[in-house]
Structure 1
Amino acid sequence: MAEATIGSRAGSAPWFLSAPALLLFLGLLVIPLALTAVLSFHSFDGTRGVLPDFTARNYLEVFSDPYYYEIFLRTAGLALAVTLLSVLFGVPETIILSRMKAPWRGIFLIVILGPLLVSVVVRTLGWAILMGNNGLINAGLKALGLTDEPVRLLFTMTGVVIALTHVLMPFMVISVWASLQKLDPQVENAGLSFGAAPFTVFRRVILPQILPGILSGGIIVFALAASAFATPAILGGRRLKVVATAAYDEFLSTLNWPLGASIAILLLIANVIVIAGFNRWLERRYAQVFEG
């Protein structure tokens, strides 16, 4: 009897220890999302506001309007472009950083992670100043003789992609850095000692070992880019809308909270589908590799 009591206490101990975190998770994430989902099924009237009637008209409006198709496709393209650029620049940057000696490694790591230490609004306003017609970027291009007219970067997709890549690249660096810390340098040296070219060693030895970090960083960057609000709102302006800014406008401009909630829920569902599908694909690829 005593052993059964001790066993039951031991089995319930993890639940008691994780209860505060679970309650915090429920209170700050699950419950607000559930309330937003319920709100998305309410009706809306321009004169009376949110009505207690339940309807799927908000979702039908989003699915049937080409305007929202364009916004969702633009958001997907933006997130994909930022993710690819983060991989293209973040992975070599992290490899170079890992091979630096102290104290330069710590200094450059702080520089790379610096964007995470500054408010997203401050960072975006800084980029707006740099990308203006009279900003530092255009002034530099003119000084080098590369252009006579200012290059239009503000209120364009190019400017938003550049700023978001700068903001989100540290997440890629952190993920790849964690994988590089597990990499045994002797394995790379063994490949070089057998006469393999440096690029071959990178492709056959280093890349497979840091691939999980690249993929996890890509998932984080994609999700954050797809749901970004401040940077597209400030640098993209009113015309270049993404899903987050469209939901914001429905909430605070037209006051159509149910439609804004339905847009937000659809963005969440799209993110979950992409991330879950990507993870599933990765599991299958790794299973094929290990089986082979």
Structure 2
Amino acid sequence: MPRRQFLLLLLPAALFFSAFFLLPMARLFFIGASGESGWLAYLAIVTDANYFRALWTTLAVAAVTTVLTLAISSIAGVFLERHRFPGRAALVAAMTLPLAFPGVVVGFMVIMLAGRQGIIGEVFTMFGGERPIFAYSLAGLCMGYVYFSIPRTILTIMAAAEKLDPRLEEAARSFGATPWQVVRDVILPGLRPALISAGAICFATAVGAFGTAFTLATRIEVLPMVIYTEFTMSANIAMAAALSFSLGAVAWLALAVARSASGSTVAAAG
């Protein structure tokens, strides 16, 4: 393809990328240094105890969410890909339905499940137990993030499981491998690029999720909520911008590491 034609085809994408990503990020970067602290605002996320605690809480929730999502999605994804049964299509559709829900709706669903008037509490009180309320804790936030992350992860796992060669598993069994050894030595290595890619997307999404945190994080501080507070309550726009840019850098780093480790393209989450 001639160089000029190549550049003309690339131009629309380059303009779109510049207008909706590079320029806003550059503007955000300089706004973050426009406050009283100047460029030191970017160090506040590790030097200020409150910001640092919020960062670690955010990373911990994202890590737990990623592990739980990958575990659930791997088991369900491989099973659904390899078994055909009545109602399978409806089940897959139901498991991917949360893709259509905004984070706030997911948060309300967790409240209806584990809140003060939640279904879990009703069941416990029905049998004379104490009503558990964990919708507004880290457990509730993780539950919301897992629910939100499973659909996109399970679709990736199902696509990867479709490409696994069953003859490798048969060969492993013929040499005396146990079911666990087949999973460990054949299935998981085959799913490795998909697991890394899906895990990175899950982690990055959980790090920056706001809607679910806005609904549930009334007793805990995660970085998206801290940024919202700095911007709306304290009118500290410079610090909010610095924290936002830092949070975006963390999410980008997770995707970059996954791209390198998996050896395949990591698509951005919707």
Counterpart of 2:233 (choices 253, 262, 280) is 253
Paired position in structure 2 for 1:37: 29
Paired position in structure 2 for 1:169: 150
Counterpart mapping for 1:1-292 below 5 A: 10-43=2-35, 55-101=38-84, 104-143=87-126, 148-237=129-218, 239-280=219-260
CA distance in 1 between counterparts of 2:166 and 2:122 reads 44
Displacement of 1:57 in angstroms is 4.1
Structure 2 counterpart of 1:197, one-letter code: T
CA distance in 2 between counterparts of 1:144 and 1:12 reads 74
**When the two structures are aligned, how many residues end up with a matched partner?**
263
TM-score, normalisation: structure 2: 0.89
- Structure 1 vs Structure 2 CA RMSD: 2.1
CA distance in 1 between counterparts of 2:249 and 2:191 reads 29
**1:176-198: per-residue Cα shift (whole Å, max 9, x none)?**
12211211223323333444322
TM-score, normalisation: structure 1: 0.83
Contact preservation (8 Å) 2:54, 2:223: yes
Displacement of 1:154 in angstroms is 2.5
Displacement of 1:34 in angstroms is 1.0
Between structure 1 and structure 2, the one with the greater Rg is 1
CA distance in 2 between counterparts of 1:281 and 1:214 reads 11
Displacement of 1:19 in angstroms is 1.9
Displacement of 1:103 in angstroms is 5.1
Displacement of 1:39 in angstroms is 0.7
**1:83-129: per-residue Cα shift (whole Å, max 9, x none)?**
01011111001011112216533222111111002232222212212
Displacement of 1:277 in angstroms is 4.0
CA distance in 2 between counterparts of 1:244 and 1:93 reads 31
Structure 2: stretches of 5+ with no match in the other structure: 264-270
Contact preservation (8 Å) 2:197, 2:259: no
Displacement of 1:64 in angstroms is 2.6
CA distance in 1 between counterparts of 2:46 and 2:186 reads 46
**1:21-60: per-residue Cα shift (whole Å, max 9, x none)?**
222121111111111111111126xxxxxxxxx9224234
CA distance in 2 between counterparts of 1:90 and 1:205 reads 18
For the residue of structure 1 that corresponds to 2:35, the secondary structure is strand
Structure 1: stretches of 5+ with no match in the other structure: 1-8, 45-53, 284-292
Contact preservation (8 Å) 1:97, 1:108: no
For the residue of structure 1 that corresponds to 2:2, the secondary structure is helix
**Which moved further from structure 2: 67-76 or 129-138?**
129-138
Q: Percent identity?
A: 26
**1:238-271: per-residue Cα shift (whole Å, max 9, x none)?**
x412111111111122111111000101112222
Paired position in structure 1 for 2:268: none
**Which moved further from structure 2: 150-159 or 266-275?**
266-275
CA distance in 1 between counterparts of 2:44 and 2:183 reads 50
Contact preservation (8 Å) 2:33, 2:39: yes
**Which moved further from structure 2: 154-163 or 128-137?**
128-137
Contact preservation (8 Å) 2:194, 2:262: no
CA 10–103 in structure 1, closer or farther in 2 if over 3 Å, else same: farther
Structure 2 counterpart of 1:190, one-letter code: A
Structure 1 counterpart of 2:221, one-letter code: K
CA distance in 1 between counterparts of 2:2 and 2:73 reads 45
For the residue of structure 2 that corresponds to 1:134, the secondary structure is coil
